[in-house]
């Protein structure tokens, strides 16, 4: 079973095609993941509609992080494939606040 397919029930926000969770091993306070609901291996397989849905949730996450943590900036990161550091083979996007 895919970890991210199973974690959808623990989401902190969602829309029709994607959901959002806090990273279980954050590199900074507020580190968030945006994950397509459809099981695909990398973001290269996302449809235009999934990209749009992911973008909406990234904006939602940023607004919530700003209220709580007040970061100075953000990194948006996507690891695609094991050679790139992807550990869970379900597409996901990291939103990492920087302080």
Q: Cα dist. 84→6, 24, 29 in Å?
A: 23, 20, 23
Structural domain that includes position 7: 3-98
Q: What is the pLDDT of residues 39-86, one digit of tens each?
A: 999 999 999 999 999 999 999 999 999 999 999 999 999 999 999 999
Under the banding of pLDDT at 50, 70 and 90, the label for residue 8 is low
Q: Catalytic residue among 31, 90, 92, 94, which? A: 92
Residues 6+ apart with CB under 8 A from 15: 53, 56, 57
What is the number of structural domains in the chain?
A: 1
Percent of the chain with pLDDT over 90: 89
- CATH no. for residue 7? 3.30.428.10
pTM for this model (two decimals)? 0.94
Predicted pLDDT of residue 90:
97
Residue 31 is among the residues annotated as catalytic for this protein: no
Residue 10 above 90 pLDDT?
A: no
């Amino acid at each position: 079973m895919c970890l991210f397919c199973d974690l959808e029930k623990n989401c902190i926000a969602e829309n029709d095609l994607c959901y959002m969770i806090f990273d279980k091993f954050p590199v900074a306070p507020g580190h968030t993941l945006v994950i397509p609901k459809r099981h695909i291996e990398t973001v290269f397989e996302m449809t235009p509609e999934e990209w749009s849905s992911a973008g909406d949730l990234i904006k939602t996450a940023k607004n919530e992080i700003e209220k709580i943590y007040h970061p100075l900036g953000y990194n948006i990161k996507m690891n695609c494939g094991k050679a790139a550091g992807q550990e869970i083979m379900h597409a996901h996007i990291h939103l990492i606040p920087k302080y």
